[in-house]
Structure 1
């Protein structure tokens, strides 16, 4: 969904849910049959404004066009001052106001991504200005990096790092072996990035596994927080009013906009209460739950029941593999998912939690991979049977075959 003070809650939660697991299970099945690599564009998610579906004629035109034709089409949209420096290679993502392409720097041959944003319309200008304000401020190993910007009256071109290592959950499945220690290694990098953002007064507001990407396919790759389409500096202007946050600091702002991806929204967002960066910590609790189990703490076919569960903080550690997961890991999740944001761990506190700080040294080294993969596959199968149309609209346009 989009993000705006006049917008209500999402019309459906299944799209966001399917987006969490679909690409992962497709990736897992491809490994079991004939591999077909698909890398997700690092800027889009089900929560950001999606383009309307293409007509039958448009879809047929895209099918008939070869890769070179498609590249040529998007090259024509680029300002010559951009193409003079970067060679356009492929389209890797699209949104209502933007296109993302893979490029190579002509001099160094280094790969990057360019996000082309249409800023002629006021709404596109607003989205671009918000995202650019955040990206121009950040510089951290675990946050996607803005390289340079080309600004013109109708379009803005953001050159960013190209993350090629896949999503967090894709890595969990593809490695074939996954323990609590592996989980803490990933979560530690995410907490480093999120803590840095919060120190700058930035609230991401759309943290989820799809927005956590590995920089390269190697085992030593850093994990990046990406997709700042809904991020904001602590709510200036009409976004909110200044308040003390859950740490007692007086330099944070209370936000009021209802936005994000349904399954990861904190209770205070759904209740339309003023909120702080604590909403990101709630989302990290949901992510930790998914990473350790392949299931979601809050899910339901009914949007009303889903939101009711979130507002009540109603979830459990029942079913496989939870009996094999350590109490420390469960405690970590519980401390991120209290309904009261004042009692939630901050990023700095979370990274010092014994489970993370010791990298699960006292935890079982049992391989959780089979249970995680099975749970993800089962959930995707159920979601597809209940909501078949969501498979076609859950983000395939953001994949690069």
Structure 2
């Protein structure tokens, strides 16, 4: 769930991270995070949500009381109906309008995740309605599953399956080897989930690596699409709303044109490019330049490891990063592309892991330096006007999500 904080791998919502390349921060530490290790750490420091002073020592009575107060205060956010059925284990993520916690069912002892959504404000209500509306209607192995819902006047609790296998790019980094065949396995699962969503009339609108999570750490794990806070149904009310994560925005969204599910396929093209190279197809230091590059379709297959990537893989990406949404592949067409159908059987088996990892580390390092110089803070909001329009337009950046409103001149 693309969240800030020590995520175990769960439904991200509007992660409050301090740069729009936040998904690569975790690559600075290449340790493979495992839920069992996380549980062991908690046993050594049993006071959840302790203060910034660190773990509570046996002899620190004052700090122990503070930790207890912090835990009690957080637990009061949960409705008694929830705590009667689930044992709250740990806070594992936080978004603009939500908390995500790992829980355990008191009777079955099965682990789940609960996403607590604050619905006091209009934005929180809209995000909650979008996510709940989708999750209550979908059932697919490559989409996060909703098992139960609790509602109060100001909060909604979504009980979700717990994905513990980590984000898509974290899995790539953790592997000692990564080939085109490995990439096709992941992209087939994502494309399958998108085909199902698009057939129902659902557009995700925030597809990115942070929102693609493995269900468990095993090699045979399914990959699930998560975070439906910006999803929309049908093709009317949302067609001109610019929202999502800047690097993954389709050109028609930036141009203020009506759009549909093809914006998800553009994002899949960006993800495919990153998956095979560790680099962004549109890599600019400022939002205006980034948007300009996207609108122009300015990307290339230069540098490593592109010389070792097959033409079929490049063709797959090109058909997704088409400027014309009508010419862009649909999810159904993507699944029928020769590269996915043959699972890169005709491609080189060359290990791409090293250049991909190097590119991801370099990007993370540059993003970290840029973030520290700019003094950006977690969850900051920024208003931007990246390009002129025949009217007034404003951009709101919340965490690493962008939302735009337009008032068209007469």
TM-score range, shorter chain: 0.7 to 0.9
Mapped to 2, the partners of 1:312 and 1:226 lie a distance apart of 30
TM-aligned CA distance change 1:155 to 1:17, over 3 Å: closer
- Aligned counterpart, 2:20: 17
Query: Is this contact kept in 2: 1:71–1:91, CA < 8 A?
Result: no
- Cα distance, 1:199–1:63 mapped onto 2, change above 3 Å: farther
Whose relative contact order is higher, 1 or 2, with alpha carbons under 8 Å and at least 6 apart? 1
Map 1:142-161; keep pairs closer than 5 Å.
142-161=142-161
* Aligned partners of 1:89 and 1:102 also within 8 Å: yes
Using the alignment, how far apart are the partners of 1:175 and 1:70 within structure 2?
Answer: 38
1:67-216 to 2 correspondences below 5 Å: 70-216=70-216
CA contact (8 A) 2:35 2:164 kept: no
Q: Deviations over 1:209-240 (max 9, x none)?
A: 0000000111110000001111111244x43x
Contact 1:82 1:150 in 2 (8 A): yes
Q: Which runs of 5+ in 2 are unaligned?
A: 1-16, 37-48, 57-66, 381-398, 401-410
What secondary structure does 2:244 align onto? coil
Whole-Å Cα distance in 2 between the matches of residues 394 and 282 of structure 1? 26
Q: Is the 8 A contact 1:93 1:99 kept in 2?
A: yes
Q: Distance in 2 between matches of 1:68 and 1:352?
A: 56
CA contact (8 A) 2:96 2:379 kept: no
Q: By how many angstroms is 1:348 displaced?
A: 0.4
Change (3 A) 1:391 1:185: farther
Question: How do residues 316-331 of structure 1 correspond to structure 2 at under 5 angstroms?
Answer: 316-331=300-315
**1:70–1:348 distance in 2 versus 1, CA, 3 Å:** farther
Q: Secondary structure of 1:206's partner?
A: coil
1:190·1:225 contact (CA, 8 Å) conserved in 2? Answer: yes
Equivalences, count: 343
> Could you list the runs of 5+ residues in structure 1 that have no partner in the other structure?
1-13, 40-58, 240-254
Alignment partner of 1:289 is 2:273: yes
Aligned-residue offset at 1:385: 2.1
Matched, 1:357 2:338: no
Give the match for residue 222 of structure 2. 222
Show the counterpart of 1:251.
none
Q: Residue 245 of structure 1 corresponds to which residue in structure 2?
A: none
Q: Distance in 2 between matches of 1:122 and 1:18?
A: 28
SS at match of 2:243: coil
1:71–1:90 Cα contact (<8 Å) kept: no
C-alpha distance in 1, partners of 2:379/2:33? 19
Contact kept? 2:34, 2:164, Cα under 8 Å: no
Residue-by-residue CA offset, 1:159-185 (whole Å, 9 max, x unaligned): 011111000000001011000000000
* Alpha-carbon separation, structure 1, partners of 2:224 and 2:375: 27
Give 3-state SS (helix, strand or coil) of 2:150's partner: strand
Q: CA deviation at 1:123?
A: 2.9
Rate the CA distance shift 1:206–1:197 in 2: closer, same or farther, 3 A. Answer: same
TM-score (norm 2): 0.79
Q: What corresponds to 2:28 in structure 1?
A: 26
- Give a deviation string over 1:245-268, Cα, whole Å, max 9, x none: xxxxxxxxxx11010101100000
Deviation (angstroms), 1:387: 2.5
- For the aligned residues, what is the CA RMSD? 2.4
